[in-house]
Amino acid sequence: MEEPLMRIGEIAAFFNVSVKAIRIYEKKGILVPAKIDNDTGYRYYTADQVQTLNALLELKTLGFSLSEIKNIISGGINNKEFMAVLVQKRLAWKDVISSAENKIDAIDKIIECMAKSKEATKMHELTDEQRAWLLVKIVCVEDLHGQSILSEALWL
């Protein structure tokens, strides 16, 4: 009995990806259709290939490039190498988290400065120059004193 095949549009819809993306995966040699109809050009995929697409999309979500994914899926990487790559990806995501936490801290400081500033409550009434100075004072929370001295020196 012949294995049931799914058309490219069906698997694209199932995984909520574009047909164009699947064709890119084909062009990169990651997901080659089991059958291409010579008359219509329709591409057909097996259940195993659908699972490969699922793995591809998960790895892509984790930050792997298509060339890395091809290497993993094709078996061009051993367990030790794969573990090392996973550790690298984990560290990269930790860096992203750290960067996001720093941005959150900076936003918290801006909120705190806004809450303490009497001028900020009337920001819309200020001139453009006054608003610019206020924003520098509130938004540029790092090394404010040094920036203030430099700005004053430049305006003299």
pLDDT in tens, 13-30: 999 999 999 999 999 999
- Mean pLDDT of all residues in the chain? 86
Confidence check: pLDDT of 70 > 80: yes
Let me know whether 91 and 143 are in one domain.
yes
Backbone angles phi, psi at 45, to 5 degrees: -130, 150
Q: How far apart are CA 112 and CA 107, in angstroms?
A: 9
Which structural domain range is residue 109 located in? 80-155
pLDDT reported for residue 138 = 78
> In 7-143, where does DSSP find H-type helix?
8-15, 19-27, 47-61, 66-73, 79-116, 128-139
0.85 exceeded by pTM: no
Q: How far apart are CA 108 and CA 73, in angstroms?
A: 43
Q: How far apart are CA 25 and CA 23, in angstroms?
A: 5
**Is residue 74 included in any domain, yes or no?**
no
**Is residue 1 included in any domain, yes or no?**
no
The CATH number linked to 54 is 1.10.1660.10
**Is residue 129 included in any domain, yes or no?**
yes
Contact 131, 123 (CB under 8 A): yes
Let me know whether 84 and 51 are in one domain.
no
Closest CA to 6 of 31, 27, 28, 39: 31
**Is residue 75 included in any domain, yes or no?**
no
